[in-house]
Amino acid sequence: MKITVTIDQPTGDFQERLLALLAEHASQVEVDAAWTVQRAEQYYQSLPKRARRIVKLCVAGDGYVASEDLRDDETASLRGHSASLKRLLQRGALRGLWPESIHPPITPVGPGFGKVVGYAMDEDLVPVFFTAVRNVETEPEEWAEQRLTQAAALEEAIRAQGGTWDTRRAVTALGDAGHEVSDKRARQILRDLATSGLLVKTDPDRALYDTNA
């Protein structure tokens, strides 16, 4: 038997008793440590303005943003940005917004010694945080509208043409529709359309899909 429990804004006393009960049966409890849209919204809303920009541009870049796109000037440091992302993850776990075992959605990229050359997000998290950012931000931005237009264009091509789709065919179809996209972006749209049920993945190791007739 599998039981899923969702509790919105639990009281401190209730949370303590629930955590104690779960700890008592730890060997039989599987913690849901996946990022959901709701968790992503709470995470994004809690970030300071500059750290929000990291998340937003990382999503816009299909999972990566370079440091030069974040600095106000070439000599500015990004070290404080990384600290705020880490602190928020810890505070959210203490408040019960997500489990302590959840993986950071954003990770700094660099050679070490505190130097950051950019930030990365797992490709599977990009659509989750894209939805979260759109839900939180009241003013639509050009990059977000462009992503929606690209997805709609590829969906239209797939519905019209049918057949088998891979990254190259998706890039070509989007190019024909006036959208120049990277292979990474094309794979992301294909995954999203598979999630929606339009496509079915036919190869576990490659981005290869058939239309779900």
CATH of the domain at 194: 1.10.10.10
72/59 Cα distance (integer angstroms): 19
Q: Give the pLDDT of residue 200.
A: 95
Q: Give the pLDDT of residue 30.
A: 64
Residues 42 and 92 in one domain: yes
The better pLDDT of the pair 81, 156 is held by: 156
203 within a domain of the structure (yes/no): yes
Residues 85 and 157 in one domain: no
| pLDDT tens track for 83-95 | 788 889 999 999 9
Collapsing DSSP to helix, strand or coil, 199 comes out as strand
20 within a domain of the structure (yes/no): no
Is the pLDDT assigned to residue 169 strictly greater than 80?
A: yes
What does the mean pLDDT of the chain come to? 86
Q: Are 210 and 164 in contact (CB under 8 A)?
A: yes
Token pair for 31: 């913690």
Is the pLDDT assigned to residue 107 strictly greater than 80?
A: yes
Name the domain count of the chain. Answer: 2
Query: Which of 104, 136, 168 finishes a domain?
Result: 136
Label each residue of 1-21 as H, E or C.
Answer: CCCCCCCCCCCHHHHHHHHHH
Label each residue of 101-168 as H, E or C.
Answer: CCCCCCEEECCECCECCEEECCHHHHHHHHHHHHHHCCCCCHHHHHHHHHHHHHHHHHHHHCCEEEHH
| pLDDT tens track for 126-142 | 999 999 999 999 887 88
Q: Give the pLDDT of residue 68.
A: 85
Phi and psi at 166, nearest 5°, equal: -130, -175
